[in-house]
Structure 1
Amino acid sequence: MYSQISDYGLIGDTHSTALIDRDGSVDWLCWPRHDSPALFLRLLDQEKGGACRIELDGRTGRSRRYLPGTNILESRFPTETGIGVLTDLMPVQPPETLPDEGPDGETESRIIRILVCREGSISGSFVVSPTFDYARVECTVSLQGDSAVFQGGSDQLRAAGSLRAAIEGRSARMPFRLQAGERAVVVLTHGEGERPPLDSVDDAIGRLEHTQRYWEQWSARCRYDGPYREAVLRSVLCLKLLTYSPTGAIIAAPTTSLPEAVPGDRNFDYRLTWLRDASFTVSSFARLGYTREAAEFLRFLRNADPTHGNDLGLMYGIAGDTPDEEELSHLEGWRGVDPVRIGNAASGQQQTDIYGELMAALHDFLNAVDFDPPQKTNDRLPETLANLVNQALSLRGKPDQGIWEMRDGQEVMLHSQAMIWVALSCAASMGRRIGTMDPAMLERWDQAADDVRADYLDRSWNEERQAYTMAYGSSTLDASVLRLVLFKAIDPHDPRMVLTLRTIERELADGDLIYRYRKDDGLRGEEATFSACSFWRVGVLAMMGRTREATELFERLLRRGNDLGLYAEEIDEATGEQRGNFPQAFTQVALISQALLLQDHPAQAVSGAQAA
């Protein structure tokens, strides 16, 4: 009875998000923040997890789309007697005055569901059944006028609107019967606070109009206007939803414990801020013209690391400490694949590549603002660069868990060592543009970068495998080497890199899809192909001059997302199903990056499938 991962669409308000399946059921919702305990979690347990469903009598079909340039989801449901159109949004609107820092929109911790009868007549019910604190807290429900109020410990949810609620056990049913042109509204509000009630159709339509205007104005700022604009815009709209505007944090994904292997135990919580993933997102924001969003993450880092780069963390909570990893054994997991985890034990790992990731993102941001950043970003920038370089150099030649967060030990990873080169190269470039840094120090950084590069190119080459491998002295292939070409840490025309790509395509590829590695990593189950790696291959082909091949591959990969243009972390090569947490910033960023790269490396002739 579980929906496929690709069946879900995402709505949100830059504080929290909700996942809605093709049938119009809100199956995942954490309130009031991305990392709050879920109160709708049917996604992870069909029996124990709550939802807000719509039951339409005589439904005969379904289709959906986002309203253009927005994160407002519209689902169309033909029935035996008519056609219903359901519009779902979390209201957000521009503030009267945009502050220099902080949220760029006013939010309400609400979900608004507007159902319109477009033809004939429709009937059915909305059914609201929350389960507070991951279904660990007893839920009670009572009526207050026509509204249903759910209480779980100190948490509260109100279901109001234009329909009369009736209690059924621990749920509330809100029946409707509509003729052509009539509307029904359901409003879910978290807590009470000082917000005025929102229970009329006119109020809901007003919020819809304000929210649509907010997203359309935001989308209009996107600088990319190439052939894949719709795919790029949908990806960056998704990334905006993964921000937490009060602090500027960026999460890796809005879900936890969607499995990367079926069966297996590769289930993790991604509702946290990984420095790596967030840095990818910052680069995408900066390159597409969303410099405010990029600056907001730098604000988050200033507050999270007041040492200006001397105490950089791998992972952060979005508004405080990173929670310890915990298993929720009372939940069965998506399709019964457990465990369900909250928190993430990888927070204690050493992952050296984060210095290169952050430095590259900072470089992209400064380029986007023509090296004229906000004063708070510019303040102590030379000191920050020096601190980050010193930290990166202290890890030269040392083992770590690497980009893939290995839980079976540490090695001296090629990707990690090459990202030290990226950190040094970007730091030297920024230092020269800043103009106030010691030239002799910048020359030392250049020399150190040359030394690091010579070392990893020599020590990671495996003559027998005819490839650059995962770690020094290793025989394991690792698709993260593709990413190093995109960072120019390895020359795309290096004969050894050409051989490495050939070996990866032979041993890690399954058609268009790429596994990140094939080795025993201490976890159960065989994971699916890694979507970001598949996109990185596009960029490598383009940089090698194989632009037509790269373009055609990119267009095929665009068809691998769901019908809304959203991607999870992985794709099961046998079934084509999405795997892992959804939607995944890492994958959406890889799509954006390759679209921009193809713009810089146009093919001589491309196929006709240019529309994303």
Structure 2
Amino acid sequence: MTEAAIADHGLIGDLQTAALVSTDGSVDWFCCPRFDSPSVFGALLDDEKGGHFRIRPRADYDSRQLYFPDTAILITRFTTAAGMGEVVDFMPPAGKVPTANHQLVRMIRCVRGEMTFDIDIAPRFDYGRRAHRTDVTHNGVVFATDTLTLTLHVVREPGDERIAQVRVAENDMHVELSLKAGDVRGVVLESGADGPPREIRVAEFQQMHDDTVRYWRNWLSRCTYTGRWRETLQRSAITLKLMTYAPTGGLVAAPTTGLPEQIGGERNWDYRYTWVRDASFSVYALLRLGFKEESAQFSQWLRERADERVGGEGGPLNIMYRVDGSSDLKEESLEHWSGYRGSRPVRIGNGASDQLQLDIYGEALDSIYFADRRGLEVGHRGWMAVRELLNWLADHWNQPEEGIWETRGGRQDFTYGRLMCWVAFDRGIRMASVHGRPAPLIRWTEARDAIYEQIMEKGWNRESGAFVQHYGSTTLDSSLLRMSSVGFVSPYDPMWASTLRAMEDELVIDSLVYRYDPEASPDGLEGSEGTFSLCSFMFVDALARAGRLDDARLAFEKMLTYSNHVGLFSEEIALSGEQIGNFPQAFTHLALIDAAITLDEALDRGRPALTGD
């Protein structure tokens, strides 16, 4: 079989791990007990060997998928010639204490007529590398290895044996379940259960559902945004929350690994970690929506990483960490998996973790500064960590690096890296001045001004009439769309207007934006990639700030058409319009939120958004 399309999935989760459920009722991706743990169901990357948990009608069917309003509860609706049914999938929130106990709840309902469901559970522990045992009891099934056990509890009413009769073949389970209108049954797959499978009554099942609805609606009620595209932004906020590891506040870049940036290509990376850059963006986006608690928690996570001061060659901060803050991300390939539609290698771990990427200090300081201005003031220990980071950066900013896109073609003097170093010093100087904090302001100011002069001299290419990817090149890079949003250049500066026009000519295709041209700037990898959705939303933001409101709004509305059926975005859009890359991607949803708020505010004023934050 061929793996289901990336976009044909919805996301559920319990704030410590997550699962992808396809429009045909299959859990195609699930790692346990954490986002960055080995997978149990991995059909998204190998339909035959990855493992799956499928619930679908036996007869021919059509299906639709939606979220229960204002929640992370996913509903897959099936229609056949004989009736209509639903599979309702969710995971009750696991809380802020790390736990091995997680529940994947699958409620099965017949809405009209009658329907027979086939239920197939085929776990493949440790990415399919570890065999398991299957023990069947009257009330369910236990799938066990030496390191992880999954317990399947059945949901039924007294005297109902319809789901107790199972067939096991090669340690996988198959169940046939016939329902008529009004019937509600289901299963709960639990890791770390404290006992054998048990019978769950429908009333308890419904209470689990109602409690989960209440949690998500209470959380979403804290959102203060009331502008245009409100439902779109709230869905992005829920998606970001689903990708946040509650015990630490670390936001994973995506809950998946190995999904390709080019079908059949080698650009298949593991995104199940917390990037300093991505998570720093989350502070800005979530605060703009009114979610202070998440912003404060990540700020604490970032301060802890800075306090450790155990970074390698890249300085006091690594560019990424595991969700618990550890930094062992050794990269390897799963050679036994075919990869999504033949895209290999399938990588786990991430070898870019020890790269030098100087821009992360600017993103970190920008988020800390933004939070500080909105009441999350930096305390003494936090300021000491900030000062240490900036003192290190003062000695190391003027050197080649790998850059924001984690290229593997050698270090360069990337303009974006210098830009964000300027941001780091600028924000540090502002905070020290406002709060009267001890700081070597002369040294930081000299560094900030030197970077500004250097970018204007070496980052600007007269031939291209634009700011370029790295010094000495003519290659454009859409990461520089942030130059106006961070306040480095005025959105009305002729140099900036010229840069925008150059990017439109070379990198933009009908609102879709490429990161850069790999042929013009080799990145050490084979093949090409799609347009980068993060950059497409950054383009909207830049247009709005430059006063081009009609262009910005049209580009934004066009981008929304590329989301999937439940409002989720992957990393990239292929030429065909297909979503590719890891899914859903936090960076894309963060940029969507920022672009929408910037554009909404500019439209309300009838004039362009101004820089300043």
Q: Pick one of 367, 371, 379 that aligns with 1:361.
A: 367
Q: Secondary structure at the match of 1:221?
A: coil
Q: Do structure 1's residue 175 and structure 2's residue 176 form an aligned pair?
A: yes
Cα distance 1:605–1:79, how it changes in 2: closer, same or farther (>3 A)? farther
CA-CA distance at 1:219 after TM superposition: 0.6
Partner SS, residue 200 of structure 2: coil
Q: Which residue is equivalent to 2:322?
A: 317
Deviation at 1:197, TM superposition (A): 4.5
Find the aligned partners of 1:295 and 1:262 in 2 and give their Cα distance.
Answer: 39
Q: Does residue 1:110 correspond to 2:103, yes or no?
A: yes
- 2:523 is equivalent to residue 521 of structure 1: yes
What is the TM-score when the length of structure 2 is the normalising length?
Answer: 0.92
Superposed CA offset, 1:427-486 (max 9, x none): 122223323435xx4355344323311211221111122211101111211111102222
Matched, 1:403 2:408: no
Question: Among the aligned pairs, what percent are the same residue?
Answer: 39
User: More displaced, 456-465 or 163-172?
Assistant: 163-172
Find the residue that maps to 2:267 and give its secondary structure. Answer: coil
Counterpart contact for 2:280–2:364, Cα < 8 Å: yes
Answer yes or no: is the 8 Å Cα contact 1:469–1:477 preserved in 2: yes
TM-superposed CA distance for 1:248, in Å, is: 2.1
Instruction: Judge conservation of contact 1:260–1:266 (CA < 8 Å) in 2.
Output: yes
Hey, what does 2:429 align to over in structure 1? 428
Partner SS for 1:211: helix
Q: Which residue of 2 aligns with 1:49?
A: 50
SS in 2 for 1:231: helix
Instruction: Specify the code of the residue in structure 2 equivalent to 1:536.
Output: M
Distance in 2 of aligned mates of 1:490 and 1:108: 50
Alpha-carbon distance in structure 2 between the residues aligned to 1:382 and 1:142 = 55
1:24 aligns with 25
Aligned residue among 560, 563, 566 for 2:565: 563
Kept in 1, the 8 Å contact 2:71–2:217? The answer is yes
| CA distance in 1 between partners of 2:523 and 2:383 (Å) | 40
TM (normalized to structure 1)? 0.93
Give the CA deviation at 1:580.
0.5
Counterpart of 2:547, as a letter, is G
Counterpart in the other structure of 2:508: 509
Distance in structure 1 (CA, Å) of the matches to 2:601 and 2:296: 25
Structure 2 unpaired stretches of 5+: 156-162, 608-613
Which amino acid in the other structure matches residue 563 of structure 2?
A: G
Partner residue in 2 for 1:241: 242
**Deviation per residue, 1:67-97 (Å, 9 max, x gap):** 111111011111111110211000127x7xx
Preserved contact between residue 59 and residue 77 of structure 1 (Cα < 8 Å): no
The equivalences for 1:189-200 within 5 A come to 189-193=190-194, 197=198, 199-200=200-201
* Alignment correspondent of 2:453: 454
Shift of 1:488: 1.6
Pick from 120, 123, 138: which aligns with 2:116? 123
| 1:379 equivalent in structure 2 | 380
Q: Is residue 348 from structure 1 mapped to residue 354 from structure 2 by the alignment?
A: yes
The answer to whether the Cα contact below 8 Å between 1:117 and 1:182 also exists between their aligned partners in 2 is: yes
1:194, CA displacement in angstroms?
A: 6.5
Residues 598-609 of structure 1 correspond to what in structure 2 (within 5 A)?
598-602=599-603
Aligned length: 590
Cα offset, 1:308, TM superposition = 6.8
Structure 1: give runs of 5+ residues left out of the alignment. 96-101, 607-612
1:198 Cα shift? 6.3
CA distance in 2 between partners of 1:269 and 1:488 (Å): 33
Name the CA shift for 1:134/1:533 in 2 (closer, same or farther; >3 Å): same
Alignment partner of 1:486 is 2:453: no
**C-alpha distance in 1 between matches for 2:505 and 2:43:** 40
Is this contact kept in 2: 1:92–1:210, CA < 8 A? Answer: no
Indicate yes or no: 2:158 matched with 1:158. Answer: no
**Structure-2 separation of matches of 1:202 and 1:111:** 17
Q: 1:388 to 1:457 in 2, by over 3 A?
A: same
Q: Encode CA deviations 1:141-180: one digit per residue, 9 max, x unaligned.
A: 1202231111233221122212223313321122211111
Partner residue of 1:288?
A: 289
Q: How far apart in 2 are the matches of 1:67 and 1:108?
A: 24
* CA gap 1:138/1:335 in 2 versus in 1, 3 angstroms: same
Alpha-carbon distance, 1:349 to partner = 0.4
What are the Cα deviations for residues 203-231 of structure 1, in whole angstroms up to 9, with x where unaligned? 21111111110000001111111111111
* Distance in 1 between residues matched to 2:309 and 2:523, nearest whole Å: 34
What does residue 98 of structure 1 align with? none
Equivalent position to 1:326, from 322, 332, 349: 332
One-letter amino acid of the structure 1 residue matched with residue 181 of structure 2: A
Q: Residue in 1 aligned with 2:343?
A: 337
1:572 aligned to 574, 577, 596, which one?
A: 574
Tell me whether 307-316 or 517-526 shows the greater mean CA deviation: 307-316
The answer (yes or no) to whether the contact 1:137–1:153 under 8 Å persists in 2 is no
- Is the Cα contact below 8 Å between 1:91 and 1:108 reproduced in 2? no
Name the CA distance, whole Å, in 1 between partners of 2:470 and 2:537.
22
Aligned residues of 1:548 and 1:605 also touching (Cα < 8 A): no
Q: Which whole-Å CA distance do the structure 2 matches of 1:264 and 1:281 have between them?
A: 30
**Separation in 1, partners of 2:484, 2:574:** 26
Could you tell me whether the CA contact under 8 Å between 1:185 and 1:200 is conserved in 2?
no
Q: CA RMSD of the aligned region, Å?
A: 2.0
Provide the C-alpha distance between the structure 1 equivalents of 2:179 and 2:197, rounded to a whole number of angstroms.
Answer: 27
The structural deviation recorded for 1:2 is 1.7
Separation of aligned partners in 1, 2:238 and 2:182: 31
SS of the residue corresponding to residue 432 of structure 1 reads: helix
In the alignment, the residues of structure 1 paired with residue 503 and residue 437 of structure 2 have an alpha-carbon distance, to the nearest angstrom, of 44
Pick closer, same or farther for the CA change 1:603–1:509 going to 2, 3 Å. Answer: farther
